Structure 1
Amino acid sequence: MSHFFRLIHNENVKIYKRMGTWVMIGILVLVVALVGAFTKFVLDPGSNADWKSQLTAENAQLTESLETAPMLEAQKRLLKERIALNEYRVEHDLAPMERDSLWGYMVDATTFTGIAALFTIVIAAGMVASEFSWGTVKLLLIRPVSRTKVLLAKYASTLLFAVLMLVLLFSTSFLFGMIFFGFTGAETPYLSYSNGRVVQQNMVTHIIELFGFRSIDLIMMVTLAFMISTVFRSSSLAIGISLFLMFTGPQIVQLLSQYDWVKYILFANTDLQQYTTGTPLVEGMTMTFSIVMLLIYFGLFAFLSLFIFNKRDVAA
């Protein structure tokens, strides 16, 4: 086991000794800071002083839509939940979360996990392919450890980098949120609708959950990039295919959502938040089904990576 952790240490040294790694880290921090400054000094969030009247008017419109507009049962359910949340806010004097606040900014910052995914894909794509392109793979495999451990150490180091990016994103968004917006409204709870009633939740817990939901897509795309890098020994191919699928996959499954078989596609299952805040892509899909599909795809990517890497002849 000590050999395995030594391998992980060596792989982390390879990652962080590259200037490109620190440039990516710097870009992520810079983006978080710039968006915070833009939200604070440029973006006009609008007045929230008369929010009770606004919510009351919104509920009147939603109620009218429920009574007159034709819609699916799922859409009706969402409108009823929105009405219940608005009524709860007015009744308990809980103003909606503003974008120019600490929590509002941090919620917006969860969308930057896409940037973290992009940078981690770049790292994953080069973990194995670079060993072949640099001709160092034979030196790597003469060590007294199995090929499986070598590959697992590389994958584990990639996931550790992904975790670092997520922790960095969370901590910097909190830091810049405090700098730009202070703690005004920090006591505001997050409201959700569950089992026919409105439930209050700690906002920090909610934001951590958002990061968790968004990290699922990150992990799957990084695993895909790692697999392509291992199978085809090409970092450019791994980056190209992974980024193309990351940006177009969700749109493709939305276009095909009228077909029942689309639920078996990876990108129909990476957004588990569809079961907590919206409606499933395909009627009848459940969170359990999506988790099982994700595990199947993850197992397939892992199997292909291990099988090809262990069978590949590197003598030439």
Structure 2
Amino acid sequence: MISLVQNELLKLMSKKKLIVITLIIAGLISLFTYAQYKEAERTMERFNTSDWRTTMELQIADTKNRLDSNRITSEEWRQQLEIRIQQQQYYLDHDINPLEPGAPTFVRRFLESAVHLLLPLLIMIIAADLVSSEYSLGTVKILLTRPIKRWKVLLSKYITLVLTVSLVLFIFGALSFLISGLVFGYQGWTAPVLMGFQTDAGMLNSANVTLLPQWQYILMAFGLAWFVTLIVGTLSFMLSVLIRSTAAGMGIMLACLISGTILSTMVSSWESSKYLFMVNLNLISYLNGSSPPIEGMSLLFSFSILLLWGLAAVVVSFTTFVRRDVY
């Protein structure tokens, strides 16, 4: 099995996909670092202060004015803004700066934004090609004529996927910290972060809020991001087994991920959609207290739904690969 995994890793490295993904991550991090730097400059110019408490008080007042102006017609967006005001007020009341300047804060915020679309897309590029490329290149016949059971061949490819997911998350975290630290500094690992906000009928429930150092929160967030990315990779891996065209498999998964982003803002009245994997990808939102797409959804619920989808994809992948005729 070790030699099979080594062989798969060598094939993956020869395609240069990891290098491309690393360059994409580095470019996006540089772009977002610059954007956040300019945003901080605009905020300071707009409110004419660098004190975080004064800035947050002015932001709360600004949001309240938006709510009172009746320009917001969506009830869901209105509820999200009201919850945001309550969270910001909670931070003020407890004298905790949620945006402590530094690379760790950038890593946390960037990960929260990337977990439900960017990271899954990057892994999809690799996972959708692991098996289908063997069919398109015609090497699957050579691979399966070796005296090795089919399930072992597929297992080596799946282990390669798991290792690749871990490597991509490591590259993402390391580059985020190193690049953003050049602008914001590398301090802030022990900055306090509040976790455990819950929403109940459009109201913020802070009864279970706990205080964590930022490094611990980031580790938890990366753990959830790794799980989400692995599930998306597993589903892409299944499509790679079922569909012999890499482009078709990537197209299907891309459509699912983009539709999930759209559905997350539109499905509050369609309760059955909470069983779709793409609606449950943003697990980190449960840590920072964001309102779930559908009332009643929780971290345990979304985690369980994703786990079931992942297990089903593994079963379908191995069953199909073992029984399929090669021609």
Shared fold by TM > 0.5?
yes
Of residues 279, 282, 287, the one that matches 1:268 is: 279
Question: Aligned equivalents of 2:20 and 2:59: distance in 1?
Answer: 46
Q: How far off its partner does 1:158 sit?
A: 1.6
- Decide whether aligned partners of structure 1 residues 207 and 49 sit closer, same or farther in structure 2, where only a CA change above 3 A counts: same
The answer (yes or no) to whether the contact 1:59–1:86 under 8 Å persists in 2 is no
Aligned to 2:89: 83
Q: How far off its partner does 1:288 sit?
A: 2.8
Is 1:32 aligned to residue 29 of structure 2?
yes
Q: How far off its partner does 1:157 sit?
A: 0.6
Is 1:175 aligned to residue 187 of structure 2?
no
Aligned to 2:120: 117
User: Secondary structure, in 3 states, of the residue corresponding to 1:44?
Assistant: helix
- Decide whether aligned partners of structure 1 residues 161 and 248 sit closer, same or farther in structure 2, where only a CA change above 3 A counts: same
The answer (yes or no) to whether the contact 2:268–2:295 under 8 Å persists in 1 is no
The answer (yes or no) to whether the contact 2:196–2:286 under 8 Å persists in 1 is no
- Aligned-residue sequence identity (percent) comes to 27
Q: Which amino acid aligns with 1:179?
A: L
Q: Which amino acid aligns with 2:166?
A: V
User: Secondary structure, in 3 states, of the residue corresponding to 1:126?
Assistant: coil
CA RMSD of aligned residues (A): 3.3
Q: Which runs of 5+ in 2 are unaligned?
A: 198-205
Deviations 1:242-291 (A, max 9, x none): 11111122312532320221222222322223433123332333333323
Q: Which amino acid aligns with 1:16?
A: M
TM-score, with normalisation over the residues of structure 2? Answer: 0.80
Aligned to 2:242: 231
User: Secondary structure, in 3 states, of the residue corresponding to 1:221?
Assistant: helix
Of residues 274, 288, 297, the one that matches 2:300 is: 288
User: Secondary structure, in 3 states, of the residue corresponding to 2:195?
Assistant: strand
User: Secondary structure, in 3 states, of the residue corresponding to 1:33?
Assistant: helix
Q: How far off its partner does 1:20 sit?
A: 3.8
Deviations 1:42-86 (A, max 9, x none): 8625325233334445667889999xx9x89x8677654442222
Of residues 317, 322, 325, the one that matches 1:310 is: 322
Matches within 5 A, 1:43-58: 44-47=41-44, 48-56=49-57
Deviations 1:154-179 (A, max 9, x none): 11112211211110010111112322
Question: Aligned equivalents of 1:34 and 1:81: distance in 2?
Answer: 28
- Decide whether aligned partners of structure 1 residues 178 and 236 sit closer, same or farther in structure 2, where only a CA change above 3 A counts: same
Question: Aligned equivalents of 2:11 and 2:311: distance in 1?
Answer: 27
Give the count of matched residue pairs: 307
Question: Aligned equivalents of 2:146 and 2:298: distance in 1?
Answer: 46
> Max radius of gyration: which structure?
1
